[in-house]
Chains A and B, each alone.
Chain A
Amino acid sequence: MEEYAYLTSILASIFYLATSARLLRLHRRTRERPECLLGLYFACSGLYYLAYNVPSLLGFDGWPPSIGLAVEWVYNLGVLPYLLFIRLVFRPNDVWAVGLVAFASGCLLVAGVALTAGGHVDYSLDNPWFLTQWLGYTIPCAWIGCEAVLDWRSSGKRARLGLVQPLVVNRYLLLALFGASQFLACLSDLLFAHDISNSEAVSLVTNVLLGGTEAASVVLLWLAFFPPDFYAGWIARRAHSPVAAE
């Protein structure tokens, strides 16, 4: 079961890297910031999950502490463009959003410095710096989920006026579900820390949650950023059906 969770994470990391490549290629064409920020986040996430899971899957004891810390920094720094993306896209004029970005970024940077000073990565519920880091990367997952739900609801109204395509409305829903899935993954990180604090073994529930949320995230991102024709057609037909039009 544990191997299944690791394998799912590795597949997710490859998918994140592919999504990143697509978004950064789009940025080269448009020169717009949202695709650049989200592309950087997925690049860092993909590299992190890949680096984090490869040792476990291949059965060696893990990276030396210095590489482990470098991998943590890649992730911590990668969350910063994600926070900026959410603010830029959903809350460009709200002061509180700047505060939230600053708070979450501060958590990630302070935790990164503290973990580096400690010399090794310690996933433990007794380690306040792990919890600080956890807070820093959990905030954007919950935040983007909430913002996407709000925009999904309002975009339905805009769609009735012909201002937005049904596929874009559906993209908000997929992003909301992605945020929820990532938030659940963050919660399972706490279970993971609890498991390895008390014993060496990771529980079945934790593995199912870790693997399941990553698998769900991949499917949701695929439908959102690489919508296949059958899916796009289904969304369009559904939007124009008499029931949906009511």
Chain B
Amino acid sequence: MKKLLALLLCAIMILPAFAFADETTEISLWTYPIGSWGDPDTVNGIIAKFNEVHPEIKVKVNYLDYASGDDQVTTAIEAKTTPDIVMEGPERLVANWGAAGKMLDISDLWDDAVKADIIAASPAVEAACKNAEGIYYEYPLCMTTHCMVINYNDFEAAGALQYLDEATHTWTTEGFLNALDALEAAGYLPTGVVYCGGQGGDQGTRALVTNLYSGQFTNADHTAYTMDSEENIKALQLLKDLVEAGKLDADPGIVAGDEIALFCNSTLSIGFCWNASAAVSNKASLADDVKVFPMAFPSDDGVPELQGGIWGFGLFDNGDEARAQAAKTFVKFVCDDENQAAASVYASGFFPTRASLGDVYAGTDKAENGEYAIFMPFLGDYYQVTGNWAAQRTEWWNLLQRIFAGGDVAAEVATYCANANK
């Protein structure tokens, strides 16, 4: 009897604590490894800053990787265990999960001031974050252009530097072909590899093909894939001929990560998948005789149209209004808070999507990242928001495999378009 009373007293005393405890909201953030956003220390630091201003919102983080991240989100969608916030790009947030109706409309985050700021940085970004009806599914944080890279030392030794414009880091298709000849003559084989073992790094191979003869990957309103245009088929044929002539390699057994390893250990003189973040993360792996020199993709008119990368936040529709609000608060803080915004972009290793932020790397120890800003004017159409994007990516590397296995270019492209344009 005494024990029972004692227990009851304890319970009554503890009860009020529960009432107060309900005041904190807990939200979950899933992030892909975008620069240091894949590093727990960095992200925890950002969350700590957030909690100084908003202690009532707790943020739990899950770090995805590109190999299995999509699988995890897919299963979470099916099991209805999706997080509150996910950080990635429009091809996933807008074109995939947004189009499937799983994301929240976050147009209320896009007030006029922010919209103007973002458009000033790049109209392509603003256009990519919303769907055809004008509903915004992504709130962008950073962007970049994907470029390629050459080993300056190899090019110098082979006398191939004359074929590129060192000041603007661009070259023409003709210059590219001459450079390949020079490298081959000097014995620098293999020159480069057109990797097609999987979807990892396909932004490199896409950019390579579309720029050679200024073809477009999709039509203007992003409703169909136009790999069957005359320019693109000519480009694919050129690559196939180069591979058969031994001036370029193709490998259906590797993906971008492997290609970068081959570039870093000086097997290759050219790498087709590169950007500011890759430069930072691979610095320590570079062999002694490799000097990194980023380049735009070769184009027939010397003006490349580079593929963009846009990263930002999207909110899953979990049916919980309180958590959605808390999530929006967090996103707004990370992207727009005057003390935090620049730091968030800095952590990603890429460039701000708000013109007002300027150069976030000036005067920091990552100042050389600023070097990659020279490619920003060449940012082309952000077409990754076209429908059926995920399936198309698989069709793309399968197309490349079939072509390099000897298939007829026009016929294989027809198959690709038929499957991708479903």
- Do A and B form a real pair? no
| Residues on B facing A (Cβ under 8 Å) | none
